[in-house]
Structure 1
Amino acid sequence: MANYLLEIGLEEIPAHLVTQSENQLIERVKTFLEENLLKYEKIQDFSTPRRLAVLINGLADHSQAKDEEHRGPSLKVAKDVDGNWTRAAEGFARGQKATTADFTERDGYVYLRQHINGLPAYEILTHIGTDVIEKMKFSTYMKWANYKLEYVRPIRWLVSLLDSEVVPFKILDVTAGNLTRGHHFLSKAGIQIPNANSYKDILAGANVIADAKKRKNLIRSQVKKIAADHAWNLHIDENLLEEVTNIVEFPTAFAGSFDEKYLAVPDEVLITSMRDNQRFFYVTDAKQALLPYFISVRNGNGQQIENVVRGNEKVLVARLEDAKFFFEEDRKHSIDFFMKKAEHLVFHEKIGNIVDHMKRVSQIAALLADQLNFTEEQKTDLMRSAAIYKFDLTTAMVGEFSELQGTMAGIYAGIFGENKTVSQALSEQYMPISADGTLPKSEVGALLALADKFDVLFSFFTAKILPSGANDPYGLRRAALGIVRIVDDRRWNFSVRKLLISLKQLLDQRADGFNIKITDPQDLSKELIDFFLDRIRQQRSDVRYDLVDAATNQVKEGIINYIFKRIRILASHTSDPDFRETIEALTRVQNLAEKNPSNAKVNPELLQSASEKHLYELTKQEKADQLLSEGEESIYAKFALLKDPINDYFQENMIMDKDPQIQANRIAQINLISHLIAQLGDLQKIIVK
């Protein structure tokens, strides 16, 4: 058993790509070893801004031997009329480095069975450059010199060591060896690694902590100690901690300060300046009031740390001075002033300006508020919010700190006299901003965010500006995911199809239609519902795929909450002892109705047997369009109650009765029940065997 070290030395990788690149390297190395039948005990991972590395422990000396069987041509082709081997047979043998004497005959074909000996690990590892490193994929690429290879950043050195022996391979003009590089200004290049196991210690001596987990824990302990020494409450943002971990190789934390006068600027602005712009951790007092201090991390040791502190303070103060100036200037104006300027902001050249977008959002919000039975007070706040919610885009603060859009709308709305409901709604308009981002906490804010995202989808879909592959420049997938997350969180019931029909009627009443035209709401609703279903499948990837497939089929109205409700109902009963039998009974009805569709009404006078009369009594009062509005347990209980009556029905009755009237009536009954079952989805998708 041996140990193998692979290190890819690079120019500095963007912080957000380091961890995902390292994870990809691990997975590709695992796949490479598995495909080459090379056994190992474990893989250790290492990453810094300038390197991605793996250390494979307990690597087998040779790959495993294997037996392979290859099927050749049919006997009709492999032998001539006299039973002699043809050229086709001989060519097959040569291609497998065998002879016709090695053939076996079976099932009308010739076969060759071969024993393939294992290869030395050393020989296999010489291909790791082409089979692993060069095949890695990134969201961001760079080219350098005149090379065609694109990579996350230019490759500057490669280390490839099997114990103490170099396993050579070459990528462009870089040949793998046993030389690494330490910290870019605390050490030097050309540091020799005597053997694979000494990697961590060699780099530690060169002021590089190669283990990202160890580096993160060290940063965490350092910043916590500084905060404890000053009796500060430290706020560690895990995303920021991850980013800082990936921009340093040898961390040293330090504290800095700024003038208390800047505390007059809203906390959100100060925190954004510190956390997002400068990658500082902010601190508060015991009452959670922001303090004029920060904690940061240097990529280096503690030498001349005072100069580092002063430099960071100077950079931060410049940002805070700008923020203070913009804040004071913006407060001299009004919402109407900023809204007037917003008329010149383009939403999209094919769709119109921001004001048109806001007017459409107002219409959508009003329609949704009616469907969701908002109170008059809520509607008033919602309409006010929709009328002004993008005003902050023209403020000086958002012009400088674009990441504060929405946040500043809420802050300025309060300053300019809007009530708390409106102010909060404006601050929540973009939520959620990511797949796991925070959701709006207020109902008005949630509906404003929902209406805004709906208009983004409606307007871009009608303009035929759609995502293509991984390309989604206008964030339509993010908007759709935001909608399904809000609806699932709020349990709001409304029909996408009906919303589009109502919106078309409103827009058709205007000569300009607010710059969009819905030609066919049915087609558009189908496109959007399919788009939403993809996001729902993504959102509920924690549930068995067959259950999600069942719940996301047979969707017409696009009532998003009902789809989530279906998933919850099915997922919560899979462990029931009679789940399989219940689904099989319901599926039998759906399958038969699919083969024999009918819109006819059931004639009770033509019901003959006790079982079909009993089943009719159980289902005749149920209304499919109301069923899913009931409680989840009540819904499933009703379907589970049908299991035995359905089985009795099929046991006692022939659907294809010789009497045409009886047959048509039974088919109508089966379709009636299938229509009810369809409210749970296409249960034929569920795997129960």
Structure 2
Amino acid sequence: MSKKYLLEIGVEELPARYVKDALMQIQNKFKTILEKERIKYERIEVYSTPRRLTSIICGLDERQEDIEENVKGPSKKISFDEDGNPTKALQGFMRGQNVELNGIFFLEHNGEEYVYAKIVKKGKDVKEILAQKVPELIKGINFPKSMRWGGKNLRFARPIRWIVSISDNEIVPFEFEGIRVSNITKGHRFLGSDHIQIDSVDTYFDLLKKNYVLVDQNERKEIIKYGSERLAKEKGGRLFYNEDLLDEITNIVEYPTPIIGRIKEEYLSLPKDVVITPMKEHLRYFPVVDDKNRLLPYFITVRNGNDEYVDIVVKGNEKVLGARLEDAKFFFEDDISKPLKDNIDLLKDIIFQEKLGTLYDKSIRIGKLADKIANYLEVGEETRKNISRAATLSKADLVTKMVTEFTELQGRMGMEYAKISGENEIVSLAIYEQYLPRFAGDSLPSTTAGSILSIADKLDSIAGLFAIGIHPTGSQDPFGLRRSALGIINIILDKKLNLSLMELIDFALYIYVDENGLAFDYNKTKDEIKNFFFGRIKNMFLDMGIRYDIIEAVISADTDDIYDMKIRANKINTWLEQEGLSEILTAFNRVATLAKNATSDEVKRDLLTNDEIELYDSYNNIEEKALSLIEKKDYDKALDLLTTLKEPIDNFFDNVMVMVDDEELKENRLGLLKKIYNTMILVCDLSKILNK
């Protein structure tokens, strides 16, 4: 008969960001335990509220599965005496396995027969196994930050106050640091009972609902979303939200009741982000907007409780938001009392990083690096002026009162203050776009100026931090350098920018030497940054569905242009789908293997024999066209052209000994192969391609 097992870990309020991962861990750990212990089950469900992590195992067998195994005993030759009677060795084995003489059999092992007994191990009661394994499961849950409390030898995100452990209607007890393990749970902190007896797993949800706790996070999420949308619609607007905020609110309430409040009209004259940021980031309110995305004078919050005294609750929330927005209004009015450029000198007192100077120093470096990129891309003079101006103002908003109070607004307020100060639209937008993308899936810069400024800002940080020995290790990346590198790569690919990565890294490092007098191992740091970027490129291309060997072949080619790498990888990926390439790749690999021994690609035609001349002339006939195709980035067509060399290459290797004692002949033959290889490597290193 199948059963249900309920585990509820009752805690002080968990941080919302911890919940999703904790539930996944619980589900995976239970799955591992059940499979390892040979316990059949139908499914594992996980639920959460701020005060509990819950798992329900449905369709759980009452006992472990029995297992049969053949237990090996003594060899046959020492198991019986001359009269055929069991020896002491065999008798001891049978006693140990609790079998009679008719319960043994013989099997060969390493050329000799041995006594065996078939033993059936009865499965244990599942409750016994759970009582043993569940404490280990709870202790094994990892959080970004854990704590000890009350002298207990246990680390957890928040203090554990109670544990419910029941199978159907029977308590499954275990010892756990003196914490009560029973069928007693707690309801809503203010509206429910703090002593609820769970008589059966099947009554768990209903009992808690009667005590103002909705255990199912998905149910709470639906109530919040659709209740809030209804309230917004009643005011002629719509909900302005994202999934992250919705998930966070879901995980901080046990019994959600959406309510709507009003914003004073005077605050709506502030920039939209100034109003929205305190609402979303600090108070967890949903803004309400019209069909043109303009703010309406309403907000929606979610009460952790029922709808009693809702008018009082609304007024309280309006008062809290009003105070926040009054502060924001004061900060805004004070900030715009002077032009944004007046903040630049204040950056000289703000340290970017102790060894890398101030934010003022960083803005100077960004300007120089951005100018280098602009020159490389041959952008127009007007765009270059906008980039230079945006770089000068790029960090000026970081010392404003608004950004000091609401750090999430960096860049956004720079854009607003730049507009108010009379800067043009491109300069203003670039100040904001320098921070894009801020996270996975974020939007990318829309302008050329913003794209270049963003690359410069991120590359400056990567170069400087690598130069002083700070770079990501394992899961540690406190400065978000992986995110910065991915941001640079995504911008380059999105805008189809042809840039030399190594030249940019070289220039970024040189600026630190020139501007900051920074001393470090230049070549080592340059290689470390190159490898760091190439690691990100490899992962990104793999996610695009490009074969690993193709990625290696492209990265090994004579290019450090990220956008060009993508073009090559895609074209080679498609090119390799053709039939009959195996022999062609073999030919190319033979050329590459020997070409690496050449000291130059110089070839003296008068030293060539017939088979060598055939290859030499065949290559010369296609060289110019192949180089032209490569220059046009028609890499697949260039490869098609190179494949016409297969037959002369095969004839060459069939009839010519390359590594001869005559040094002049050997170098001439290697030079011919090197000449062909030098053109091949302009596409990719075909020797890296797996010959499938």
Contact 2:572 2:635 (C-alpha < 8 Å) held by counterparts: no
**Structure 1 position 106 matched with structure 2 position 110:** yes
Contact 2:547 2:573 (C-alpha < 8 Å) held by counterparts: no
Residue in 1 that maps onto 2:533: 532
Contact 2:220 2:256 (C-alpha < 8 Å) held by counterparts: yes
Q: Match for 1:565 among 567, 580, 591?
A: 567
1:448-469 per-position Cα deviation (integer Å, ceiling 9, x unaligned): 0110111101111112223333
Alpha-carbon shift at residue 13 of structure 1 (Å): 0.9
- Residues 420 and 588 (structure 1 numbering): CA distance in 2 closer, same or farther, change over 3 Å? same
Query: Secondary structure of the residue that 1:189 maps to in structure 2?
Result: coil
Gaps of 5+ in 1: 79-88
- Residues 266 and 65 (structure 1 numbering): CA distance in 2 closer, same or farther, change over 3 Å? same
Two-structure CA RMSD over aligned residues (Å): 3.6
Residue in 2 that maps onto 1:57: 58
Residue in 2 that maps onto 1:601: 601
**Greater Cα offset, 341-350 or 52-61:** 52-61
Residue in 2 that maps onto 1:179: 184
- Residues 160 and 662 (structure 1 numbering): CA distance in 2 closer, same or farther, change over 3 Å? farther
Alpha-carbon shift at residue 113 of structure 1 (Å): 9.4
1:248-280 per-position Cα deviation (integer Å, ceiling 9, x unaligned): 111100100121011121101101111111111
Alpha-carbon shift at residue 548 of structure 1 (Å): 6.9
Contact 1:159 1:180 (C-alpha < 8 Å) held by counterparts: yes
Counterpart code for 2:566: F
1:8-64 per-position Cα deviation (integer Å, ceiling 9, x unaligned): 221111111111221222122222222223222222221111112221222233334
**Greater Cα offset, 524-533 or 111-120:** 111-120
Alpha-carbon shift at residue 505 of structure 1 (Å): 5.6
Residue in 2 that maps onto 1:6: 7
* 2: CA distance, partners of 1:596 / 1:355: 51
1:123-176 per-position Cα deviation (integer Å, ceiling 9, x unaligned): 322233244221122212122122232212221222222222222223322243
Alpha-carbon shift at residue 555 of structure 1 (Å): 6.4
Query: Secondary structure of the residue that 1:254 maps to in structure 2?
Result: strand
Alpha-carbon shift at residue 640 of structure 1 (Å): 4.9
* 2: CA distance, partners of 1:247 / 1:644: 67
Give the alignment of 1:89-238 within 5 angstroms. 105-106=109-110, 117=121, 118-238=123-243
* 2: CA distance, partners of 1:55 / 1:485: 42
Residue in 2 that maps onto 1:288: 293
- Residues 352 and 145 (structure 1 numbering): CA distance in 2 closer, same or farther, change over 3 Å? same
1:304-348 per-position Cα deviation (integer Å, ceiling 9, x unaligned): 111111111111000100011111111111223211211111111
Residue in 1 that maps onto 2:623: 620
Paired residue total: 663
* 1: CA distance, partners of 2:192 / 2:649: 83
**Structure 1 position 331 matched with structure 2 position 331:** no
Counterpart code for 1:59: L
**Structure 1 position 420 matched with structure 2 position 419:** no
- Residues 42 and 646 (structure 1 numbering): CA distance in 2 closer, same or farther, change over 3 Å? farther
**Greater Cα offset, 592-601 or 468-477:** 592-601
Counterpart code for 2:110: R
- State the percentage of identical aligned residues: 33
**Greater Cα offset, 331-340 or 583-592:** 583-592
Counterpart code for 1:564: K
**Greater Cα offset, 96-105 or 9-18:** 96-105
Contact 1:65 1:115 (C-alpha < 8 Å) held by counterparts: no
Give the alignment of 1:457-496 within 5 angstroms. 457-496=462-501
1:472-501 per-position Cα deviation (integer Å, ceiling 9, x unaligned): 222222222221222222222222222244
Alpha-carbon shift at residue 230 of structure 1 (Å): 1.7
Contact 1:537 1:548 (C-alpha < 8 Å) held by counterparts: no
Query: Secondary structure of the residue that 1:465 maps to in structure 2?
Result: coil
Residue in 1 that maps onto 2:36: 35
Residue in 2 that maps onto 1:86: none
**Structure 1 position 367 matched with structure 2 position 372:** yes
Contact 1:262 1:320 (C-alpha < 8 Å) held by counterparts: yes
Query: Secondary structure of the residue that 1:533 maps to in structure 2?
Result: helix
**Structure 1 position 437 matched with structure 2 position 442:** yes
Residue in 2 that maps onto 1:299: 304
Computing the radius of gyration over CA atoms, which structure comes out larger, 1 or 2? 2
Gaps of 5+ in 2: 79-88
**TM-score scaled by structure 1?**
0.86
Contact 2:459 2:508 (C-alpha < 8 Å) held by counterparts: no
Residue in 2 that maps onto 1:83: none
* 1: CA distance, partners of 2:491 / 2:362: 21
Contact 1:655 1:663 (C-alpha < 8 Å) held by counterparts: no
Residue in 2 that maps onto 1:250: 255
Alpha-carbon shift at residue 666 of structure 1 (Å): 5.4
Alpha-carbon shift at residue 205 of structure 1 (Å): 2.2
Residue in 1 that maps onto 2:325: 320
Contact 1:466 1:472 (C-alpha < 8 Å) held by counterparts: yes
* 1: CA distance, partners of 2:55 / 2:237: 39
Alpha-carbon shift at residue 301 of structure 1 (Å): 0.7
**Greater Cα offset, 323-332 or 529-538:** 529-538
* 2: CA distance, partners of 1:555 / 1:63: 58
- Residues 397 and 506 (structure 1 numbering): CA distance in 2 closer, same or farther, change over 3 Å? closer
Contact 2:414 2:432 (C-alpha < 8 Å) held by counterparts: yes
1:282-309 per-position Cα deviation (integer Å, ceiling 9, x unaligned): 1122333211111111111101111111
**Greater Cα offset, 21-30 or 97-106:** 97-106
Counterpart code for 1:368: I
Residue in 1 that maps onto 2:86: none
**Greater Cα offset, 598-607 or 336-345:** 598-607
Alpha-carbon shift at residue 356 of structure 1 (Å): 1.0
Residue in 1 that maps onto 2:81: none
* 2: CA distance, partners of 1:607 / 1:181: 93
**TM-score scaled by structure 2?**
0.86
- Residues 28 and 687 (structure 1 numbering): CA distance in 2 closer, same or farther, change over 3 Å? farther
Counterpart code for 1:240: L
Residue in 2 that maps onto 1:546: 548
* 1: CA distance, partners of 2:52 / 2:391: 49
Give the alignment of 1:16-35 within 5 angstroms. 16-35=17-36
1:418-455 per-position Cα deviation (integer Å, ceiling 9, x unaligned): 00000000011111111222211111101101101111
* 1: CA distance, partners of 2:113 / 2:451: 67
- Residues 17 and 659 (structure 1 numbering): CA distance in 2 closer, same or farther, change over 3 Å? closer
Residue in 2 that maps onto 1:342: 347
